[in-house]
Structure 1
């Protein structure tokens, strides 16, 4: 099977073809078509406010860090570019941006934006909800997890909408199970300008970049071009855990004729880490000896030698979108896309210090350091077609999502001291692969047709029924399969029909209530193929049934919303515990998730706004009645926002509740309580001053100070249980840090 790696040549060809397509037709002066495209069927709410100006002080909605829409049909949190630019570190990626929302939690152990962060949503893990970019779902191909630093830095994100629920039929992805984090690119500026930006801060963190907006080009059908480049490097809080990354972004929008708008987007990211593959933190013994930030060292005789632990990641994300109004109420929206991820890792095998040095390659009693050569590399191709027809009674929406992925994964034994693969493998593998832990290729073929009708029962009541059909075929073609270590060539199909029904009732100009019934699903993990005969697995994926009620209020002085939810998780996909040819993954019980959430912003006056959100969450296994591991029991945020004249600022605290770090085992009840961590809080401060027309041909100059974890707390955020207690690994809050930033607009 052929995979498609990251390639500058491939990207250059893609850019050339797309620009040729966009240049093929040009309608002079078609500004209305370009404006209409901003309100197309994918981004239901425009989240890119004013291209980086300060938080508005005229309405609570303009000042709100998060808020819901009066048209919402499920709990949501809308986050604007204004909030990102003022209150989030310039080094941030999406996890830091969306963490402000209720029921979301996650923290970077290496410092804000300086390491991958796994965000939880209502207790659902990172592989149990979708993440989309401009309406396109993306994620890993072994399971639908995400790498927060690998694709989209904060400088290319125009805003986000967190949807806590499966959404409507056209909400796409492999894990509608838990909800969606929907990211959006920046809205094009109508005027030409250039911005140069940079920041410097704790742990020798440095960031620099430049962005260019063409504005509406009168001789090019009022089309727009956006360019962005960003470089980030840092030593990081964790010892020797450096990061170095570059991102290149191009976005072109152009009318083709009078009724079509084309958008071409490409983002390429290159990132290098120095870190262990098992990056779950130090043991308590290591903390006592070296400190909470211990990770790597400079000793070549150690598993933790920085020279033995490094990762290179190359990614790209590209799409061509055509939005067409055909007249008579008909419209189409088609997105042809591809994205790729290439992770090449060299790492030692045990950073805990509990394994004695010595490899199978050296003589008896040798002190060589064993390691791995790891690859996870995939290319995804897809197309999303949406067809809309407007009637007097409402809008009918239908379409289909098609996607194919090709994945190449391997892991080889290494003798890091000798710098070669470990040539003597004791486990039973074919003799032609003596050093291979696994060498595996896999594919996913996905087809999901969907349909819904937004029925306008009255001018104030909208009822939307819909259905989505899931048809997925997963195949593995492995010379040496993971875990079983034998040849594997097989495929399994998964099918599901997912109905939903929502209603939104407007009550006057500033109040609405909504209700949702919806079913979600999650694609089975690739690990279900790590058995002798995967065709014996159940073909029924994990499912969720969501029941949600909410109310949204909005006025000039106050925006607020509250919701209640209950989610029944069924068909949990687990191993039957058998070995050999009897091994299989089967459906068993599940869990119940329920809670209450809310968010509010009050515009006090004089440039001051107050913000608060909170959630009370429960996630309990049906068989034991105990809380599921990794699920915080609450979240809360409090904030003070200020905007008057050239000054702007924010002081926001986010608290994440207590978490059980291991699932309940009836045979070890004491251990369950021992792995419960307490709540922790991060308080972030931002102050900014904007000089208008300061001279030197500058339109504006903004200076900003951000302080993160202002209180300097270093509580435990997670524990990864080891085979013994001495092997438990801990992560902590990164201590207080700061960044000083500047942006010059020309």
Structure 2
């Protein structure tokens, strides 16, 4: 069953190529050095390998920037992940430490999907990549934080707040990128087992294997990781269970090529309604802030009616080659899939009474939905580099094709049957089918840039990327309209950029960036009678950014200022029927200042701080846009000395409004204002070296999350009327005790 879900044919093909019987004579590191391109350089800067020690501020910094940066960034190391982030975490918990990022899991750390905000940009307005490959949903470029990469397989992360260079790829470049990286292979063999137990019956168990460099395999390496997570969660009856398997094989082929195969499989099941936006205030008053589901079959909130099963896989074959005469190439052939199968009641708030829409008088059955979102994405990224005396030319092509199957059917959950409660507006529409839709995306993006070494200390990089995306919908019953839809639309744009980095000294650098970004139009723009009337111009941004980076032995720091003009906002024209269309109107301006610093005090002690002051306002009203916190801040204490390690870090998210300003409802603009919230996490760890039983190292760790037990509001979802607004809160204080044994 797992093998079939794991895209058996693709993975088998990739692994067979990696294990091809080609003699390899050079060491892994020598070959890697010969073919290092932009992605390889980033992986190295993420420091996603062994324990880094405590000799410099850069070695212990939770976040930092590179002296080679051309836009604001936060590099997060594997050391920080292992010490200060819960073992049950996924990427959102890891990157949340960075300036201008915010997001919180209402079910507990790593126990529910979290939508992170960056500078006020929502989850579908920035990219997330894994080893340089962008991934995300196909209806809009949003992400599911628990569905692909658990914290145990992430070797490091780089948060880039801006469109980046020409080879920063994805469908939403104007918000920035969260770049995740797999673990760097170790030189020596190591086998480890790990586990955690904590609040809400949370358990995690797993094993990892590092082959080290294998002489009989051309000094190649093999990495494997497997884990199982189970928890009841903080929200009542919101249980979660997930399994993840990962393998990574890296092997030199000849003297000038390195092949890498990565493959992962993830399956997660959880119990929660499709509308998991929290309880109403009336439900909070009656059941508490953690109310979610119950055991009453006559209720919309019955746990037996609300469950989701998600299966994903992600794999790639990477070939890095040095061709001589300054030429190198880096090619990634990849595929990933997502399959969400959900059964859910339709309204957990109580705003809708039980009973079918056209059922007999007195019908008390619970209505629900059968929901599917299933897609397969296949693509290739080719990067070519040519080293010249004057600098480096980088160019390439990103091609991607995706195919999606989505449906939603009405159910009678009480009877466990399709719910035949709707009449047929047209002969093509089947009873109980809200929509049954197939769609595709074909994407082609060539790019080129020139890293001009203007002086030994000044690098100036101009570049350009051309975007051409074709969306197609093939549906007999389309979403929203419930009419047939068989349409294709093409979107294209040109995105130039210019960056500069000046090394003032060995410890100080300044940078500047001008760059254009874009976001692909949402699939919902096809949910009208005639999408050909839509604008073909995607949402765009123009970014202006300046920054300074300092890196000394005892202090690493950086500060930046930014201004982003977001234009061509893609919205409905408000008309219906044949006149409905999505058009470009207005936009927003984002601006602010950000900084981060780590000071190595001495005796194993380091102090950390970051902060941002952010402002995002609509160009038409001048009002602050929804879900854009006005600030973020973090303070931390770090300690490493001998076998002991500890961290105490607090992260503050500032106030933000949950609805956009509406002249017809001006009171709501202030009513839905959240005052902000703070999470403070504590970690204590101790390492035993060679304690016996063949164990080379045993690490014991205690993590306490939300140490102050704050339970502030983190979001408000507007209901049909005010009594049915839904609220989410910080999860209560929790702890986890963890152990890791290495052999």
What's the TM-score once normalised by structure 1's chain length?
0.98
Instruction: Give the alignment of 1:422-571 within 5 angstroms.
Output: 422-426=419-423, 428-430=425-427, 433-571=430-568
Find the partner of 1:8 among 4, 17, 20: 4
Determine whether 1:584 maps to 2:590. no
**Which moved further from structure 2: 149-158 or 25-34?**
25-34
| Distance verdict in 2 for CA 1:256–1:387, change over 3 Å | same
Counterpart position of 1:140: 137
Deviations 1:414-471 (A, max 9, x none): 0000111111314624355111000000000000000000000001000000000000
CA distance in 1, matches of 2:85, 2:217: 35
Query: Which one of 28, 32, 51 corresponds to residue 31 of structure 1?
Result: 28
Checking the alignment, whether the CA contact within 8 Å between 1:28 and 1:218 is kept in structure 2 is no
1:382-433: CA deviation from partner (whole Å, max 9, x where unpaired): 0000000000000000000000000000000000001111113146243551
1:166-565 to 2 correspondence within 5 Å?
166-360=163-357, 362-426=359-423, 428-430=425-427, 433-565=430-562
Structure 1 residues 107-126: aligned runs within 5 Å? 107-126=104-123
Distance 2:424 2:276 in 1: 26
For 2:147 and 2:273, the matched residues in 1 are separated by 17
Residues 667-678 of structure 1: matches in 2 within 5 Å?
667-678=664-675
Between the aligned partners of 2:297 and 2:396, the Cα distance in structure 1 is 57
Structure 1 residue 353: Cα displacement: 1.4
From 21, 24, 41, the counterpart of 2:17:
21
Shift of 1:41: 2.3
Query: 1:39: Cα distance to partner?
Result: 4.2
Find the residue that maps to 2:285 and give its secondary structure: helix
Closer/same/farther in 2, CA of residues 339 and 129 from structure 1, 3 Å limit = same
Greater CA drift, 186-195 or 432-441: 432-441
Alpha carbons 2:11, 2:315 under 8 Å: kept: no
Q: How far 1:494 moved relative to its partner?
A: 0.2
Count of residue correspondences: 741
Structure 1 partner of 2:680: 683
In the alignment, which of 96, 107, 127 is matched to residue 99 of structure 1? 96
User: 1:362 deviation in Å?
Assistant: 4.1
Q: Does the CA contact (< 8 Å) of 2:48 and 2:183 recur in 1?
A: no
- CA separation of 1:492 and 1:12: change in aligned 2, threshold 3 A: closer
1:203 aligns to what SS in structure 2? Answer: coil
Give per-residue Cα distances to partners, 1:217-248, cap 9 Å, x unaligned. 01111000000001000000000000000000
Return closer, same or farther for 1:245/1:347 CA change in 2, 3 Å cut-off. same
Tell whether the 8 Å contact from 2:424 to 2:430 is kept in structure 1 after alignment: no
What secondary structure sits across from 2:342 in the alignment? strand
Question: SS of 1:44's equivalent?
Answer: helix
Aligned partners of 1:48 and 1:186 also within 8 Å: no
Q: Alpha-carbon deviations, 1:537-558, whole Å to 9, x = none?
A: 0000000000000000000000
Retained in 2: the 8 A contact 1:28–1:220? no
Shift of 1:34: 4.2
8 Å contact from structure 1 (residues 277, 345) kept in 2:
yes
Alignment RMSD = 1.3
**Which secondary structure state, in structure 2, belongs to the residue aligned with residue 155 of structure 1?**
helix
C-alpha separation between the residues in 1 aligned to 2:521 and 2:28? 46
- Shift of the 305–721 alpha-carbon distance from structure 1 to 2, 3 Å rule, reads same
Asked whether the 8 Å contact 1:22–1:256 carries over to 2, the reply is no
CA distance in 1, matches of 2:426, 2:345: 22
Q: Distance in 1 between matches of 2:104 and 2:28?
A: 43
Q: Distance in 2 between matches of 1:494 and 1:597?
A: 33
Counterpart contact for 1:212–1:227, Cα < 8 Å: yes
> Aligned pair 1:708/2:723, yes or no?
no
Q: 8 Å contact 1:647–1:689 — kept in the other structure?
A: yes
Any conservation in 1 of the 2:35–2:328 contact (CA below 8 Å)? Answer: no
1:31–1:405 Cα change, 3 Å? closer
Show structure 1 runs of 5+ residues with no match.
none
Return closer, same or farther for 1:607/1:429 CA change in 2, 3 Å cut-off: farther
Q: TM-score, normalised by structure 2?
A: 0.98
| In 1, Cα distance between equivalents of 2:424 and 2:576 | 16
1:730 and 2:730 correspond: no
Q: 1:30 to 1:706 in 2, by over 3 A?
A: same
Q: Structure 1 CA distance, aligned partners of 2:358 and 2:182?
A: 50
Distance in 2 (CA, whole Å) between partners of 1:331 and 1:658 is 48
SS of the residue 2:148 aligns to: coil
How big is each residue's C-alpha offset from its partner over 1:624-645, in whole Å with a ceiling of 9 and x where there is no partner? 1000000000000000000001
* CA distance in structure 2 between the aligned counterparts of 1:449 and 1:474, rounded to whole angstroms: 18
Q: What SS is found at the alignment partner of 1:312?
A: strand
How many angstroms does 1:349 deviate by?
0.2
Corresponding residue of 1:44 = 41
Q: Deviations over 1:303-360 (max 9, x none)?
A: 0000000000000000000000000000110000000000000000000012111014
Inter-partner Cα distance in structure 2 for 1:273 and 1:338: 25
Distance in structure 2 (CA, Å) of the matches to 1:43 and 1:518: 23
Whole-Å Cα distance in 2 between the matches of residues 324 and 38 of structure 1? 5
Question: What SS does the aligned partner of 1:411 have?
Answer: strand
**Equivalent residue number for residue 650 of structure 2:** 653
CA displacement at 1:203 relative to structure 2: 0.3
Instruction: Give the 3 Å change call, closer, same or farther, for CA 31–436 of structure 1 in structure 2.
Output: closer
Q: 1:679 to 1:546 in 2, by over 3 A?
A: same
Q: Deviations over 1:611-662 (max 9, x none)?
A: 0000000000001100000000000000000000100000000000001011
2: CA distance, partners of 1:688 / 1:555: 27
3-state DSSP of counterpart to 2:194: strand
Distance 2:524 2:512 in 1: 36
Structure 1 residue 17, shift from structure 2 partner: 2.3
Distance 1:588 1:430 in 2: 37
